[in-house]
Amino acid sequence: MPVTDFKVPEKYNYQNGFNSYHETEAVDGALPIGANNPQKAPLGLYNEKLSGTAFTAPRHENQQTWLYRILPASAHSPFEPRESSTYNTNPENKPHEKIHQIPNQLRWDPFDLDKSVDWVHSLHLVAGAGDPTMKSGLGIFIYAAGKDMDAQDAFYSADGDFLIVPQHGVLDIQTELGKLLVRPNEVCVIPRGVRYRVTLPEGPVRGYICELYQNHFTLPDLGPMGSNALANERDFQAPVASFDEDNDGKTTYTILSKFAGHLFAAKQNHTPFDVVAWHGNYYPYKYDLGRFNTMGSISYDHPDPSIFTVLTAQSDHPGTAIADFVIFPPRWLVQEDTFRPPWYHRNTMSEFMGLIGGQYDAKTGGGFQPAGASLHNVMSAHGPDAATHEKASTADLKPMKVGEGSMAFMFESCLMVGVTEWGLKKCAKVQSDYNAESWEPLKPRFKRPEKSSNDVSQGIEGKIGDKGQVPHWT
């Protein structure tokens, strides 16, 4: 059955559909009829527009939502730098913490849980490319938190959309547009600018984030696969309107903004979670990876990993992604005369992999573990380790289910992904023996065929020509 059996039950209601135009109201009559910006909004609310694209973006790309709230989001004090000497997730403008551009294959041990920090202060940039100030590229983060955000805090990123991949623990996310419960084997996207607060109902959390500085995530085209494959639109869930009512001026709230990688803070005397109704197509959403409809070969060879793409964000060149989110779920393999794990390859795309749980079927041993990661950058050669290659080369090729109880994923990018000082050194998780353990044990197996006397007497021309491989020449 294509759903995940979650240990923590769902507690919120949702609207279904990817990039659908939704409308929702927590109080009847809060949405205006026939107009977005009436002179007087219903119920004494304020009209506010949240734009995720330029006003003049093509209709099929345009993303915007109208909010109807108790007080506008602009009603706050000026933003001031917060923890400016310690909080920076944009190393390009922090000279003593540069981005390291290196061709080495990298693998990390599981990242530590940190019970001392909240969501905002748990964000560590591991790798990335581009610059949020230019709205280009992406950042790859690890989060590990053990505390709820303060009850009077809200956070947003002006730098990009957060694609959040939980590995451990449950995220209860209160956003301006409603609430999401996000568990391991689910993912969620919080768009640029949306304010939210994260609490941890089951204790400490850990996972991965791809922050997309450029464009927005979409579903990949299906081409010859037809209309029913991979992630289905109906399985994406958006929140319904839900609001707090605290605007008497007695409580001070803090709005935290990640802006060009720095943290800023502003104060206001009313809750930021006061959106009573909204309509539009720019909103947070989540997806159960267990519902992914896996495709594959049923004859020979196996397709490229792009066949497992859940979400993609395209560059200006069609078919070339700034970020692809790819998963490797439990699935059947039935190919004949095929080396079934990934082949050895060098790729023009960079590949950052993580493991949510279980054992990744293309690796043996304990090197690639849940909560760990690997990075194979542009043209860095990689593939199955020696033990996996030996096992797969001699396996009985009967139909088999692989990846039971496992879920690996990949953030893939056309960009050369640099590694931060934290990711390369400070986290102290890089495996120094990754290459030596994985590929140096491979032995040459080439055996030149023995020549017969008949081969010698015929000569190469006759031998090749007789087999019809190329025309005979003189």
Residues 142-170: pLDDT tens digits?
999 999 999 999 999 999 999 999 999 99
Q: What does the alpha-carbon distance between residue 220 and residue 349 come to, in Å, rounded to a whole number?
A: 17
What pTM did the predictor assign? 0.94
State the pLDDT at residue 473. 42
Minimum mean pLDDT among 4-13, 84-93, 172-181, 299-308: which range?
Answer: 84-93
State the pLDDT at residue 454. 63
Q: Is 404 annotated as a binding residue?
A: no
Q: Which of 302, 317, 389, 472 is catalytic?
A: 302
Assess whether pLDDT exceeds 60 at residue 95: no
HSE, side-chain direction, 13 A CA sphere, residue 353: 25
State the pLDDT at residue 64. 98
Tokens of 348: 């023009």
Band of pLDDT at residue 74, cut at 50, 70 and 90: very high
The domain spans of the chain are 14-289, 293-438
Contact 113, 373 (CB under 8 A): no
Across the range 32-44, mean pLDDT stands at 97
Minimum mean pLDDT among 280-294, 385-399, 457-471: which range?
Answer: 457-471
Minimum mean pLDDT among 186-200, 203-217, 445-459: which range?
Answer: 445-459
May I ask the CATH class of domain 293-438?
mainly beta
Tokens of 157: 């990123």
Minimum mean pLDDT among 28-37, 44-53, 176-185, 338-347: which range?
Answer: 338-347
Percent of the chain at pLDDT > 90 equals 86
Assess whether pLDDT exceeds 80 at residue 94: no
Beta strands of 334-438 (E only): which ranges?
A: 350-357, 373-376, 400-402, 407-413, 418-419
Task: Give the CATH H-level superfamily of domain 14-289.
Answer: Jelly Rolls (2.60.120.10)
Q: Is 398 exposed, middle or buried (0-12, 13-18, 19+ CB in 10 A)?
A: exposed
State the pLDDT at residue 102. 94
Band of pLDDT at residue 114, cut at 50, 70 and 90: very high
- Find, among 64, 87, 53, the residue nearest to 256 by Cα: 87
Q: Is 382 annotated as a binding residue?
A: yes
Tokens of 188: 């969620």
State the pLDDT at residue 329. 95
Band of pLDDT at residue 464, cut at 50, 70 and 90: very low
Percent of the chain at pLDDT > 70 equals 93
- Find, among 59, 63, 50, the residue nearest to 18 by Cα: 63
Q: What does the alpha-carbon distance between residue 169 and residue 207 come to, in Å, rounded to a whole number?
A: 9
Enter the DSSP assignment of 88: B
Task: Assess whether the region 14-289 and the region 293-438 belong to the same CATH fold.
Answer: yes
State the pLDDT at residue 456. 53
Across the range 406-425, mean pLDDT stands at 96
Residues 348-367: pLDDT tens digits?
999 999 999 999 887 777 78
Band of pLDDT at residue 471, cut at 50, 70 and 90: very low
Assess whether pLDDT exceeds 50 at residue 56: yes
- Asked about 96 being catalytic, the answer comes back as no
Across the range 415-423, mean pLDDT stands at 95
Assess whether pLDDT exceeds 70 at residue 105: yes
AA letter at 419: V
Query: From the CA atom positions of the chain, what is the Rg in Å?
Result: 26
Assess whether pLDDT exceeds 80 at residue 469: no
Q: Is 345 annotated as a binding residue?
A: yes
State the pLDDT at residue 90. 79
Band of pLDDT at residue 472, cut at 50, 70 and 90: very low
